[in-house]
Amino acid sequence: MEAALVNSVIFRPALACTRHARKKFVYCLILWVIGLVVVFSPTSSEQALGASFIAYGDSPTLSISLSGFVFYDKNHNGKLDNEYAISGGEIDLYMNGSQVASTTVNSTGQYSFTGLSAGTYNVSNKTAGDWLAVPGNITDVSNKAVTTGLGSASSDNTQIDGIILSAGDQAELYNFAAQYYPIQLLSKRMLTSHLTPVPEPGTAVMLGFAAIAFILMAARRRCCKK
């Protein structure tokens, strides 16, 4: 009789609490998975780093253009291979020594200048940091590779000088590779995943996801105390 009483008073409530906690854990896990899918699901407006280059080169025009990428060079090899895009920085364009245009790096890490005139250009990265400037390639109006006037990196690697462009030339992959991620341009992408490419989560989405996680953890603690 006493053994049955002890079993009913001690063990049964403990087992019930364990089952209840297990259900709560499963619910939490499901909600976490749903939250991750919402945060990291790419949309049509969010392209993978490098995918925009493929689309950009599909339909060349007769006008002169110059484009490139700004990215965090994780393995320090100066190549665009599965890297983090660095958006928000300013890129300036100079023709024959005078500034002719300025643009902001977009969310996929790309910058571009179009409708240019024939001449000698310098492209400059205005974001402070430890950079490696990488001259790209130029194709002419007949889509043949140009072998001269490709330009060269400046001594401080913040500029690519001496890019000679003629009518119909398309200059691509004039990249700036950051050896260390510029703290002033720190992206939420860097805080959410080591995988690339991933979409840039909106601030509201991240705050909402954090609030849900906090509520679930608080509910789990309260459940286990009962």
What is the average per-residue pLDDT within 125-130? 91
What are the domain boundaries of the chain?
A: 2-41+199-225, 51-189
Residue range 79-99: mean pLDDT, rounded: 89
pLDDT at residue 75 in the model? 87
Per-residue pLDDT, averaged over 185-202, amounts to 54
Dihedral of the alpha carbons of 179, 184, 185, 189, in degrees to the nearest 10: 90
pLDDT in tens, 30-57: 766 666 555 444 443 333 444 333 333 4
pTM for the model stands at: 0.59
Buried b (16+ CB within 10 A) or exposed e, 134-164: bbbebbeeeeeebeeebbebbeebbbbbebb
CATH class of this structure's domain 51-189: mainly beta
Q: Which sign does the torsion angle of CA 218, 222, 224, 225 carry? A: positive
User: Using one digit for the tens of pLDDT, what is the confidence trace for 158-193?
Assistant: 999 999 999 999 999 999 999 887 877 766 555 554
The pLDDT score that the predictor gives to residue 83 is 81
Residue 201: predicted pLDDT: 58
CA distance readout (Å), 9 to 2, 12, 202, 223: 11, 7, 50, 19
Percent of the chain with pLDDT over 90: 39
Separation in Å, CA 198 to CA 16, 31, 32, 79 = 42, 20, 18, 19
Confidence of residue 148 (pLDDT cuts 50, 70, 90): very high
